[in-house]
Structure 1
Amino acid sequence: MNEKQPNRRKFLKESVATAAGIIITSAIPTEAVRASANTGLTPLSAPNILTKSTDTPRIKFSAIGLNHGHIYGQVEAVIRGGGQLVSFYAKEPDLAAAFSKRYPDAKVARSEKEILEDKSIQLVVSASIPDERAPLGIEVMKNGKDFMVDKPGITSLEQLDQVRKVQKQTGRIYSIMYSERLENRATVKAGELVKAGAIGKVIQTIGLGPHRINLKSRPEWFFDRKRFGGIICDIGSHQCDQFLFFTGSTKAEIVSSQVGNVHYPQYPLFEDFGDVVIRGDKGTGYIRVDWFTPDGLNTWGDGRLTILGTEGYIELRKNIDIAGRPGGNHLFLVDNKNTQYIDCSQEELPYGKQLVDDVLNRTQTAMSQEHCFLATEVALKAQKQAQQLKINT
């Protein structure tokens, strides 16, 4: 038991670094990010980089479940949007202590029930263990609150049916934070360019989502696909979201999918590789996700997205331009006139504000509920239909 506690703390620290890389890297000086990668310090440990809201709060919100460091990026997004974090709850004392240190003004709730029954709270955010997220979201919605959850927000088709039913009954928001699109500045910019017709009609997306495994820091649930849903359900949900968004597809079918555990036999319930060929009513896509980012890379993963259009294409290097320009948020645009490079590090991140607007106005500007659920449904079906890949390494 004592051994698990330090591992959880280490996991939280390294998860926070991952979340920082996805959520706020571009808001931090490049030198600070590079230094953190070399020293082992996380960007979030640097002073004065957390969002400070000076305006009157627009909504009050709480956090339940702190099992992944993405919770910090989720909280920061809502604060940027005008939310006030008033309370939080975690079953794990060490996770609660770290979170309280980061947000000392937030009250430590005695139970989930205390937050659910607090009528002043309008939104709950969560990064609990993945298979616990949907049941929590159902309870949140039944208690008259909106819910924003880390991906994977749902880990089975059965959970998805239950969430859809309760969401329809209550009219509450169930938002899954697909941060590789919603909280990545280059991807936000790409969305603006595609909408403006910069590359014509989108034909295909190719989404690559490699991750560093940080093996020794991971908790037990990380290696059990029943808990995290499988690699396509988990990491691949990002790429499914981007495929639907950039092609404009409202229907999709899985042409083929495969998953495997090719390198970690000591964890028989784990998956370290997966890929998908997907066909929508307005485009096609290929997805590859894995846990094979080598330690020599100066970031957690060389995330890439290529968007092919009838009049050109866009390629994103989200986290790093290997052996090229420093930092992340790189966008390359090629059309019939020229080739451009666009530094997206100063682009606005609208998701947090849009979500708070939606909470207040009962709108769907941050993400339509239909899209949110469809992206998850596609990932879950690809996971369920996947053939088992066997590679001798």
Structure 2
Amino acid sequence: MRIAIAGAAHPHARYVTAEIDRYDEFELVAVADPDRVVAEGYATPYGAKVFTDHQQMLDEVHPDVVMVAGIYADRGRAVVDALNAGSHVLADKPLCTSLADLTAIAEAAERNSRHVVLLLEKRYYPETLAAIELVRSGELGTIHGVVSSGPHKLNRPSRPEWFFDRTRYGGLLNDLAVHDIDAALYFTGLTTGTVSGALAGEPAFPRYGTATLTGPGVLITAGVDWLTPAASPLHGDYRMKLTGTEGTAELQWARHRLILTTNEKPPYDVPLPPGHRPAELPLQALADGNEPDITTSHSLLITRLALLAQQSAESDNLPIPWSS
């Protein structure tokens, strides 16, 4: 399977090279990035072609799969162009930075019968895999509450200028809340409700925010920020607590723990299974001609919820109806 990278501004482009390094069936054939030095950095070890324009790359190389990991505001166009070229798309989050881009992606995916997979790596963490088994077993009963915390180190000196430009970055909630929204829906099965957002901090670059989703019997609150102290040993102490009628489960992703407490059992650490690399299962599914478990419709839904939370936060904070 011939893979290309369209935009490599974020190091998550390496999600696909990690699979290319492991499997002979995957080949990196080209890398495009407006910064030729960046493109060469990814392409040279694999003898891949180098481009500074992703459309030229698509026209010349015709890849089977395109990984999109460029500047956030440029991703929507790259995804649409890749789909129109007949390629499946794997995308780092955020998939795009506007609802208009999202509509264009949905139309292109349907028109060309190609998959779009948002690489939601928390879905494949050992803690998440163990927690979904708890949920399915019924040990937590009916889950009514999900609260998550997604702190991150800003590392401001190392961030590029575009990262602090709202028109190119797309907003805090659109960037960071996606993973926890996905995990919360995964655990609760919520398919309809309202979504709202709130932001705090300097208006030009808010560094703290929340996305809130409500639905029948469920309340989800996802807090995200760029406020992890510089001296912290962790980039982010990512956590999520599931509260059900029969018990609670706390996922401590950064500490590799899942703590279960029920009406019959005191707190204990649940054994964790092996996890999966972010692009491992999606690429294998595409190679086998199957639909990835993170489907196009789900990738679009999670992106839409994050964009709506961002829209709410930047306007009146009012909840916006949604349905899958």
TM bracket (short chain): 0.7 to 0.9
| Distance 1:361-1:169 versus aligned 2 partners, 3 A rule | farther
Q: Which residue of 2 aligns with 1:14?
A: none
Q: Write out aligned runs for 1:191-230 (5 A).
A: 191-230=132-171
The one-letter code matched in structure 1 to 2:114 is: R
1:81-133 Cα offsets, whole Å, 9 max, x none, are 763323222221332343246xx124132342453135662111121001111
Q: Which residue of 2 aligns with 1:330?
A: 257
Q: Secondary structure at the match of 1:109?
A: strand
1:344-379 Cα offsets, whole Å, 9 max, x none, are 3x6131753431243245543421222211111111
With the length of structure 2 as denominator, give the TM-score of the two structures.
0.87
Q: Which residue of 1 aligns with 2:34?
A: 91
The unaligned stretches of length 5 or more in structure 2 are 317-324
How far apart, in 1, do the equivalents of 2:175 and 2:218 lie? 23
After TM superposition, the structure 1 stretch with the greater mean CA deviation from structure 2, 144-153 or 110-119, is 110-119
Matched, 1:299 2:210: no
Matched, 1:280 2:215: yes
Q: CA RMSD in A?
A: 2.4
The one-letter code matched in structure 2 to 1:384 is: Q
How far apart, in 2, do the equivalents of 1:226 and 1:120 lie? 30
How far apart, in 2, do the equivalents of 1:96 and 1:365 lie? 27
The one-letter code matched in structure 2 to 1:358 is: A
Instruction: Check whether the contact 1:186–1:331 (CA below 8 A) recurs between aligned residues.
Output: yes
1:250-293 Cα offsets, whole Å, 9 max, x none, are 22312x4211334xxxxx53121111221134622001111110
| Distance 1:73-1:296 versus aligned 2 partners, 3 A rule | same
How far apart, in 1, do the equivalents of 2:140 and 2:194 lie? 25
What is the CA-CA distance between 1:216 and the residue it aligns to? 0.9
Q: Which residue of 2 aligns with 1:239?
A: 180
How far apart, in 1, do the equivalents of 2:130 and 2:20 lie? 20
| Distance 1:143-1:242 versus aligned 2 partners, 3 A rule | same
Q: Which residue of 2 aligns with 1:259?
A: 199
> Which of 101, 104, 113 does residue 162 from structure 1 map onto?
104
Q: Which residue of 2 aligns with 1:352?
A: 279
Q: Which residue of 2 aligns with 1:18?
A: none
Matched, 1:61 2:10: no
The unaligned stretches of length 5 or more in structure 1 are 1-58, 263-267, 321-328
| Distance 1:204-1:128 versus aligned 2 partners, 3 A rule | same
1:309-360 Cα offsets, whole Å, 9 max, x none, are 222121111113xxxxxxxx2111122332221353x613175343124324
Q: Which residue of 2 aligns with 1:340?
A: 268
Instruction: Check whether the contact 1:259–1:388 (CA below 8 A) recurs between aligned residues.
Output: no
Percent identity (aligned): 27
| Distance 1:74-1:356 versus aligned 2 partners, 3 A rule | closer
Q: Secondary structure at the match of 1:294?
A: coil
The one-letter code matched in structure 1 to 2:199 is: V
